[in-house]
Homo-oligomer: A and B are copies of this chain.
Amino acid sequence: MQRILDKIKSYDKIIIHGHKRPDGDCYGAQFGLKNIIKNSFPQKEVYVVGEKSDFVDFVGQVDTISDDIYQGALSIVVDTAVKDRISDQRYTLGQEVIKIDHHIPVDDYGDLRWVDTSFPSCAQMITYFYYKFKNELKLTEEGAIALYTGIVTDTGRFRFRGVSQLTHQLAGLLIDKGVDVEYIDGKLSKETLEMIALKGYVYSNFVTAKGFVYLKMTRDIIEKYNVTDEQAASVVGLIGGIEGFPVWALFIEYPSEIRIRLRSSGPTIDKLANQYGGGGHAKAAGARLDSWEQLPQFIKDVEEVVKVYNEV
């Protein structure tokens, strides 16, 4: 961490990247880090680039920059294990690259890396970074809101096993910086009548296999309920935690593939996700199918994972 701070100090321009389809933790880490650098070293130029996320745009707005800004700049990539998923790919144009991530490493990119899978969110890593050097660093309420959002979204509101005393200690520090937890919850919980209607659809149309519950989210359903892809994907949690069904998944139809949001409350499912072109955490992973024809085989594979788990 000291080396990362030294690098930050030694550059005048810093460009912060995240991953494609950014979530709350990605945005939280990106904008939280920007806030810390900008307030601690006001003379530096700091940019956040990458895809836009409507869901968490209240934490900050991404910058649009030209290639020449990368000249002599430091690229920092947060929350991204796989090179191809970095958004955008111009991070390589920077003079040096730093990787900060809490996922199991897939690609060892970057000149300097801080990877620690014991953190349940990348935003917690950034908060910890601030906390460690708080005598020389500054963080304002705006940055605290970003970081708190990242911690809350990636831990499912402090529910997942990676949550530790440190998580709560750092969340408390952010609240002390002025975070209004109900404001953030309101932003993250906003529902539209369309989404409520979609939820009714989900609860009435999921399918049960052996120890496995799933739902097919086809294009026509997404269009019928007039929701965004992001909103459609967010319903995966609704079919989770049902007694007797330790694994659940949402299959979201895209023009050229079917993306899978795979979740578990029992068996680890990241290896299965690897077999289907994806990856992630032990109990929350992403994967993909080329077409619906692969679905029966995927279901069989999940049932096998559940069976093995139940036999242990």
Chain A residues proximal to chain B, CB less than 8 Å: 152, 156-161, 163-169, 171-173, 175-176, 180-182, 185-186, 189-193, 196-197, 199-200, 203-204, 206, 208, 238-243, 265
Contact = CB atoms under 8 A, between A and B. Distances in A.
B176 A165 contact: yes
A269 B204 CA distance: 33
Nearest to A182: B161
Contact of A196 (B159, B166, B185, B242): B242
A70 to B, nearest CB: 39
B158 A164 contact: no
A165 to B, nearest CB: 4
Nearest to A205: B200
Contact of A175 (B152, B163, B200, B208): B163
Given A167-B172, A241-B186, A181 B197 contact: no
A153 to B, nearest CB: 12
A240 B163 CA distance: 27
A218 to B, nearest CB: 19
Given A157-B157, A159-B157, A242-B192, A175 B168 contact: yes
Given A172-B169, A175-B168, A196 B239 contact: yes
A156 B189 CA distance: 12
A157 B159 CA distance: 8
Given A191-B241, A192-B242, A163 B186 contact: no
* Interface pairs A-B: 5 shortest CB-CB: A200-B203, A168-B172, A165-B172, A157-B157, A168-B168
B241 A189 contact: yes
Chain B CB count within 10 A is highest, among A160, A172, A197, A239, for: A172
Contacts of A203: 196-197, 199-200, 203
Contacts of A241: 186, 189-191
A158 B158 contact: yes
Nearest to A189: B241
A175 B164 contact: yes
A159 B185 contact: yes
Nearest to A120: B181
14 contacts: A156-B185, A158-B158, A158-B181, A161-B182, A163-B175, A163-B181, A168-B175, A169-B169, A169-B172, A193-B243, A197-B203, A200-B200, A200-B204, A204-B204
A163 B157 CA distance: 13
A181 B169 contact: no
Nearest to A155: B181
A203 to B, nearest CB: 3
Contacts of A208: 193
Contacts of A152: 158
Contacts of A156: 185
